[in-house]
Structure 1
Amino acid sequence: MSSNLNEIDRTNIIAFEVSKASLTVRSLPDDQQVTIPNTAQAIKRQLKAACKDRRPFVDCEASGGYERSVLECCVELGLPVHRAHGTRTRNFAKYLGLSAKTDAVDARMLALFAAKSDDLRLWQPPSKETVELRGLRRRRDDLAQMIRKEQNRLEHPHIKTVERSLKRHVRIMANEVKELDAQIAKLVTSTPEFRRKSDLLTSVVGVGPKTAAACLAYVPELGSLTKGQAAAIVGLAPHAQDSGTLKGHRRISGGRREVRASLYMAALSTLRYDPMMQSFARRLRARGKPAKVAITAIMRKLIVIMNAVLKTGEPARGAVS
């Protein structure tokens, strides 16, 4: 199966609007629509029927994991498939003037999105090690977020029983986080590809094993991206807000927010230990940029540098481009 979108015939498109129990399927160019169960058997039957004349290009929405059967069936049948991000498809729907949101409307919109978009990334199945690492890291991050919430509750006066309960809960979850960190470190060390990439990533000043593990789990594409793609995929690409003579503030949005928390801590560490980053931050502040903008700019540089070291296979030399 080709990984180049330009080499794929997109005159025959199958789009899946995904829900837990069912799939609304829209096909182009015949513009036919059916609803089928969200089961591997029903999906394969639908895809095989669509393959009678020529191979279809498949588009399905990301829906909290309920799209997994569609993706796996496409890989098994050797069909190119794109997993569409919800924000992009809703913006596309607005462009089409589709204010209503139903399964039928969304299925047709997804089919048109697949036909008209030129920068779609084909879905590639992750390795079983990546799936395991992502699961461990996500659970670890969920617990860390719960710990912060419980600690925030401790800042306000409580009756002693409630306070003891909160502290006990924080202590239990903190131990769980330590155990998960140990499992993550063991998995990275025991997987040659993870270990090689982690060594390269941690050669960047400020990037530690935990940030490296977050990138390996949540951004497995890192190392195959351009500078702009690397910044955009984690939501650190600044978007212009200009109109006529008005020059608005650039803003970041979207992307994989799970990585940004790790990059924020890495940026603080980099700012402390890397003289070149310190100089870069001072130049930004001298131009009137707020401290948060300077930190965001360092986060953006970090992800670009991390992408570069994985692409070249060479450890970082500490240069700020």
Structure 2
Amino acid sequence: MNGKRVVGVDIGKHWLDVATEGSERVARSSNNAAGIAAFIEKLDPSQDVVVFERCGGWERPLEAALADRAICWAVVHSQRVKAFREAQGVKAKTDRIDARLLRDYGRDRLNAGKLRLGRREDVTLDALMARQRQLKAMLHAERCRAATAAVEAVRCSTERTIAHLEEMLAAIAAELVQHEVGHAELAFKEGVLCSQIGVAEQTARALLAELPELGRLARKATTALGGLAPRVHESGTIRRRRGLAPGRTAIKVILFNPARTAMRFDPQIKEFCSRLRAHGKPGKVIMVAVMRKMLVRLNARLRDATAQTSTAAAAG
């Protein structure tokens, strides 16, 4: 991977600023279909790695285009890029400077073997799950409006919208099933995750969409990415109350109901909760502890199952 050429891209609503290794010149393309196509034409799929940050969804067309052309890419965390900027002593901030910083940060991570490359199947799963969440939110809103509609025309309108949204949700569900059929690895991972009491297909898909690294992480990294790691603040005689460190907030939403189910029906989780209650821990702390334990357990199960499958394939 060290023989690769890193390309940093600062993404905005209208523009892509591109910094390529070996040149201090920063090129600019339009962030539309034509501009993205022109940019990708200049890339070498066997050599280039494109590095960029999330940008409120404006990065998705580029990400999808890179996946279609089988060009390596990596989405990096903006907070880590910010820390890299401070470590480099860079005070100014422009689109061109940001593109160069992304290029340099990508090279640093690539040399350290810590640059996680994106995968096409993850992009598709994430997009389908995001659309499913959007449709469910719209359906819930329309049902609330229908329940309070006092005018016949309004009630009929909401009912038509509800029927249409239900059809669209069914279509997305069919697309998700078709996506699993075409990706055996994804179906295998979902099966492993569903072996945990409280986790069903929808939860497994959501976890794989929000945390595609699951099964390849260390214990502490798993809880940190899930936003379930305690943040310690101790200095001298100061001992502040521990809170949760920031992470991917959707993970806590996804695990909340599965954790409630596990607290009732998983014998090991029930015993764990009993010990915490005996020590006087409040309910909210117990819930977070259960979600953290479940996420660590799911990561370990997926890691072990993947390793066993790889070993069996090598032996066979």
- Scaled by the length of structure 2, the TM-score of the pair is 0.74
2:37 is aligned to 40
1:5 is aligned to none
- Report the Cα offset of residue 281 of structure 1: 2.2
**In structure 2, C-alpha distance between the alignment counterparts of 1:186 and 1:81, rounded to whole Å:** 25
- Report the Cα offset of residue 204 of structure 1: 0.7
Amino acid of the residue matched to residue 62 of structure 2? E
**In structure 1, C-alpha distance between the alignment counterparts of 2:255 and 2:85, rounded to whole Å:** 32
Select which of 270, 273, 276 maps to 2:265.
Answer: 273
Give deviations 1:149-193, integer Å, cap 9, x for gaps: 4566689x7755697369635565356435544553465467533
- Scaled by the length of structure 1, the TM-score of the pair is 0.73
* Residues 250, 286 of structure 1: alpha-carbon distance in 2 compared, 3 angstrom cutoff: farther
1:19 is aligned to 12
- Correspondence 1:253 to 2:246: yes
- Report the Cα offset of residue 280 of structure 1: 1.5
**In structure 1, C-alpha distance between the alignment counterparts of 2:8 and 2:272, rounded to whole Å:** 46
1:244 is aligned to 236
- Deviates further, 157-166 or 36-45: 157-166
Q: Alignment identity in percent?
A: 27
Q: Which runs of 5 or more structure 1 residues have no equivalent in the other structure?
A: 3-7, 315-321
2:314 is aligned to none
Give deviations 1:198-247, integer Å, cap 9, x for gaps: 22211111111211122333333322222223323333333323333323
Q: How many residues align?
A: 294
**In structure 1, C-alpha distance between the alignment counterparts of 2:90 and 2:52, rounded to whole Å:** 18
**In structure 2, C-alpha distance between the alignment counterparts of 1:95 and 1:162, rounded to whole Å:** 61
* Correspondence 1:49-60 to 2 at 5 A: 58-60=50-52
The CA RMSD over aligned residues, in Å, is: 3.7
**In structure 2, C-alpha distance between the alignment counterparts of 1:30 and 1:72, rounded to whole Å:** 25
1:319 is aligned to none
1:318 is aligned to none
**In structure 1, C-alpha distance between the alignment counterparts of 2:62 and 2:81, rounded to whole Å:** 15
Select which of 114, 120, 139 maps to 2:106.
Answer: 114
Give deviations 1:127-170, integer Å, cap 9, x for gaps: 3xx54443332211112223444566689x77556973696355
Select which of 150, 155, 163 maps to 1:164.
Answer: 155
User: Are the aligned partners of 2:51 and 2:76 in contact in 1 as well (CA < 8 Å)?
Assistant: yes
1:317 is aligned to none
User: 1:67 is paired with a residue of what secondary structure?
Assistant: helix
User: Are the aligned partners of 1:43 and 1:73 in contact in 2 as well (CA < 8 Å)?
Assistant: no
* Residues 9, 91 of structure 1: alpha-carbon distance in 2 compared, 3 angstrom cutoff: same
User: Are the aligned partners of 1:241 and 1:250 in contact in 2 as well (CA < 8 Å)?
Assistant: no
- Report the Cα offset of residue 194 of structure 1: 3.3
- Report the Cα offset of residue 271 of structure 1: 1.0
* Correspondence 1:287-302 to 2 at 5 A: 287-302=279-294
- Correspondence 1:194 to 2:181: no
Q: Which runs of 5 or more structure 2 residues have no equivalent in the other structure?
A: 307-316
